[in-house]
Structure 1
Amino acid sequence: MRWWDLDPVMELEDSLFPDDAWSRGMFWSELADARHPAATRHYVVAEETGGRVVGYAGLAAVAGTGDVQTIATARDQWGTGLGARLLRELLHQATAFECHEVLLEVRVDNVRAQRLYERFGFEPIGFRRGYYQPGNVDALVMRLADLTAAPADTRETPGLQGTETTHG
């Protein structure tokens, strides 16, 4: 993800998370720590062949622990395997960052995302009460301790033809 991706990323962010969307400043802050020799962040966007941004994801890495900061796909991409491809990219980068574990938070009412994370070997380890605002919705904290446990590559998953992940 680069600065010029922020307009379409913000459109997607606002449509998917209308009540608790990240601000443009939050994305800028994350990207500021993604492109230098001591970077601790990695952000990617997924684009259709025509250039439409259909997903994005970000990872922070500190002291051997990766943290999935965000992962999102356009609603018309749900069920296509794009979320799995984005997550796989983050886990690949976590390995490059020499992380020994990866953590994430997911809304307790987002069963679809929880299933994705479980397929990759993430296990629940706790809750963060009232983490998502407004609404005071709890977050389920999940952990992946074995980064080699991810399922086989999904690059050839039906429905993903013409979609490419752009690294940045």
Structure 2
Amino acid sequence: MTVRRAGTGDLGALADLHATAFSPGWSAAEIAALGAVALIEDGAGMILVRTVAGEAEILTVGVRPEARGAGAGGRLVQAALGAARADGAERVFLEVAEDNLAALRLYAGCGFGEVGRRRRYYPRPDGGAADALVLRRALNTEP
């Protein structure tokens, strides 16, 4: 599978991929409004990364449920790190729910470490909320 940079013609596919991973998913218009670099692995997943003033943020990563566990997430994150580096980023940040164990394993394997916590950030259907962990990875080092 190959990760490629998405264009405006891919906005519908990006929104579809996001909706299979998250509820509610982001619309094509919402994705376009972010002004982020969008990368897509056709049929498997997508990632959005935005770089400003030497820092990048991974805004979202979505992998179709049937494609999980086959390496798409890792390929998408690595491609996003490359795009951020090419755009001049020295560090990449992201937020992830503390109970998203698969994502935490993915990010740890890509060299991210915890640098902060946002209490009760992600609402849950039962009325509770999960903390968001703020993760960071320097781009001048290998994991």
- Is TM more than 0.5 here? yes
Tell me the amino acid that sits aligned with residue 24 of structure 1.
A
Corresponding letter in the other structure for 2:96: V
2:81 to 91, 98, 102: 91
- Of structures 1 and 2, the larger Rg is shown by 1
Shift in Å, 1:11: 2.4
Alignment of 1:74 with 2:64, yes or no, is: yes
| Root-mean-square deviation (Å) | 1.7
Q: C-alpha distance in 1, partners of 2:48/2:140?
A: 17
Between 1 and 2, higher relative CO (CA 8 Å, sep ≥ 6) is seen in 1
Residue aligning to 1:17: 22
String of CA shifts for 1:15-50, please: whole Å, max 9, x gaps: 2211x42233320212xx3xxxxxxx3111111xxx
Structure-1-length-normalised TM-score = 0.73
Taking the aligned partners of 1:60 and 1:146, their CA distance within structure 2 comes to 14
How far apart are 1:133 and its partner, in Å?
3.6
User: Which one-letter code corresponds to 2:31 in the other structure?
Assistant: F
AA at the equivalent of 1:26: E
Unaligned runs of 5+ in 1: 34-40, 48-52, 151-168
Q: Which amino acid aligns with 1:14?
A: A
Larger deviation: 21-30 or 65-74?
Answer: 21-30
Residue 121 (structure 2) aligns with? 131
**Offset at residue 100 of structure 1 (A):** 1.2
Kindly indicate whether the alpha-carbon contact (under 8 Å) linking 1:91 and 1:147 is maintained by their aligned counterparts in 2.
no
For 2:26 and 2:118, locate their aligned partners in 1 and report how far apart those are by CA, in whole Å.
19
Any conservation in 1 of the 2:57–2:92 contact (CA below 8 Å)?
yes
Identity %: 32
- 1:15-164 aligned within 5 A: 15-18=20-23, 20-30=24-34, 33=35, 41-47=36-42, 53-133=43-123, 135=125, 136-150=129-143
Runs of 4+ in 1 over 6 A off after TM superposition: none
TM-score by length of 2: 0.84
